[in-house]
């Protein structure tokens, strides 16, 4: 159910789209609900990786790189709410309840409100689509994500001219997220993007991977994917999207400001204070990570053509 603010009643999709498109979407949403994607359940979806389902559009920005095996994607995770070990989230995240799930959108928008996940996923214009985007994630995995471009979502809420940044917040529920009872980070986990980064077509609100709903350990039911940035920007299990005039705080920047900046663009020329970032190992490429050959890290993770213009004139060693 959509919980709307009274000031901005939304027309029903049937009022603003032609009947054929509307009916198609109804079937699509019913499919999502039945498959568990909308409900955030880890059930298989009728769409398989590589299939040409009419409901999912392959993104033009998808990479041709070899995919990381699904088992690695779902077992080697970072989700400190469930422990700091890479295998902790897969073991512990089953405690998270993802249904019902709602997302609050507020701040510098004309249409603030708290929206049920199903409404968030529902296309609101004929142009909106669920995409499959195969992309190199900022900690060196290649994952076929399913999701909606964040920009399509943001447009619906009509940002005001003062909206310069987008802040995100993860669910805070220590009873289901045991890591939140420990002072590892300031909870809840928070992240942010500049408005142009948020509107870039590469930035995805992911609801699935490998043709299935997101497993809890990968950020069910809704997480961010920002392919040209380091992995920590891709905040999981999002419950709040806040548009703001000022650069918002981010969890890793609060924890270690000299190590993690706001931008966190993948950049082989700027070393982390404690290690070089010029080379990387792709997870799952061979059996043991330690024996996987290092490859040269590409500027912006190889997405320079799509994103470099946003940072023209900025000193990226200062804005790291
Ligand atoms: N989001 C939340 N809420 N909590 C976290 O600890 N870890 C981040 C990011 N999103 C994290 C998070 C980090 S450090 C990485 S590398 C990616 O999630 C990992 O995503 P994956 O486990 O799906 O590969």
Taking the CA atoms of 104, 117, 93 and 254 in sequence, report the sign of the dihedral they define: negative
Whether residue 3 lies inside any domain: the answer is no
Q: How far is the CA of 139 from the centre of ligand 1 (A)?
A: 10
More confident residue, 26 or 115: 115
Tens of pLDDT, residue by residue over 120-134, are 888 889 889 999 999
Atom of ligand 1 nearest to the CA of 80: 6
Domain encompassing residue 186: 25-311
The whole-number pLDDT of residue 148 equals 95
Which among 83, 178, 232 is the best mutation to test ligand 1's pocket, defined by most ligand atoms within 8 Å of the CB?
A: 232
Q: Which neighbouring-strand residues pair with 105?
A: 113, 241
128/22 Cα distance (integer angstroms): 12
What is the CATH number for 126?
3.90.420.10
Q: What is the mean pLDDT of residues 117-121?
A: 89
In a domain, 7, yes or no: no
Q: Is residue 320 one of the residues assigned to a domain?
A: no
Domain count, the chain: 1
- 157-213 pLDDT per residue, tens: 999 999 999 999 999 999 999 999 999 999 999 999 999 999 999 999 999 999 999
Determine whether 78 is exposed, middle or buried from the number of CB atoms within 10 Å of its CB (0-12, 13-18, 19+): middle
Task: Decide: 170 in ligand 1 pocket, CB within 6 A.
Answer: yes
Strand partners of residue 205: 148, 224
Does 12 fall in a domain?
Answer: no
Distance, in Å, from the CA atom of 256 to the CA atom of 266, rounded to the nearest integer, reads: 18
Between the CA of 248 and the centroid of ligand 1 the distance, in Å, is 18
d(CA 79, CA 129): 28
Indicate the helix (H) or strand (E) that contains 130.
Answer: strand 130-137
- pLDDT score recorded for residue 151: 97
The better pLDDT of the pair 273, 247 is held by 247
Per the domain annotation, does 217 fall within a domain? yes
Quick one: tokens of 128?
Answer: 């909106």
- Widest distance between CA atoms in the chain: 59
300 within ligand 1 shell (Cβ under 6 A): no
Residue 219 lies in a domain: yes
| Band of pLDDT at residue 288, cut at 50, 70 and 90 | low
Which residue has a Cα nearest atom 24 of ligand 1? 77
For the stretch 216-237, pLDDT in tens is: 999 999 999 999 999 999 999 9
For ligand 1, is residue 250 a contact (CB within 6 Å)?
Answer: no
Of all protein residues, the one whose alpha carbon is nearest to atom 19 of ligand 1 is 78
Ligand 1 pocket mutation, candidates 222, 236, 239, criterion most atoms within 8 A of CB: 236
13 lies in a domain?
A: no
How far apart CA 218 and CA 206 sit, in angstroms, is: 10
Q: Which residues contact 111 (CB under 8 A, 6 or more apart)?
A: 5, 8, 10, 105, 156, 157, 158
260 C-beta neighbours (distance < 10 Å), count: 20
Atom of ligand 1 nearest to the CA of 73: 24
Give 219 Cα–ligand 1 centroid separation in angstroms. Answer: 8
What pTM value is reported for the model?
A: 0.84
Asked whether residue 2 is domain-assigned, the answer is no
Cis peptide before 197 (omega within 30 of 0): no
Tokens of 254: 């609060």
89 Cα nearest atom in ligand 1: 22
């Amino acid at each position: 159910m959509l919980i709307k603010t009274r000031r901005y009643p939304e027309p029903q999709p049937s009022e603003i789209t032609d009947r054929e498109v509307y009916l198609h979407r109804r079937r699509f949403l019913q499919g999502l609900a039945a498959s568990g994607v909308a409900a955030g359940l880890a059930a298989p979806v009728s769409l398989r990786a590589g299939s040409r389902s009419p409901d999912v559009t392959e993104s033009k920005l998808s990479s041709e790189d070899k995919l990381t095996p699904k088992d690695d994607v779902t077992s080697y995770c970072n989700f400190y709410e469930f422990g700091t070990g890479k295998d902790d989230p897969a073991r512990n995240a089953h405690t998270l309840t993802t249904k019902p799930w709602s997302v609050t959108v507020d701040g510098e928008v004309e249409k603030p409100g708290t929206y049920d996940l199903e409404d968030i996923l529902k296309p609101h214009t004929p142009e909106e689509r669920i995409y499959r985007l195969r992309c190199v994630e900022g900690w060196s995995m290649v994952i076929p994500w399913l999701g909606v471009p964040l920009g399509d979502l943001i447009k619906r809420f009509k940002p005001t001219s003062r909206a310069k940044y987008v802040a995100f917040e993860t669910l805070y529920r220590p009873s289901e997220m045991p890591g939140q009872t420990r002072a590892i980070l300031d909870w809840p986990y928070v992240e942010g993007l500049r408005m142009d980064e948020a509107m870039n077509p590469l930035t995805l609100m992911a609801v699935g991977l490998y043709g299935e709903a997101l497993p809890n350990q990968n950020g069910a039911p809704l997480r961010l994917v920002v392919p040209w940035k380091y992995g920590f920007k891709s905040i999981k299990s999002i419950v709040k999207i806040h548009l703001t005039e000022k650069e918002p705080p981010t969890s890793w920047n609060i924890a270690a400001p000299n190590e993690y900046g706001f931008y966190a663009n993948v950049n082989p020329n700027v070393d982390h204070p404690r290690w070089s970032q010029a080379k990387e190992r792709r997870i799952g490429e061979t059996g043991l990570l330690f024996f996987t050959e290092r490859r040269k890290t590409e500027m912006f993770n190889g997405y320079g053509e799509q994103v470099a213009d946003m940072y023209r004139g900025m000193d990226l060693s200062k804005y790291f």
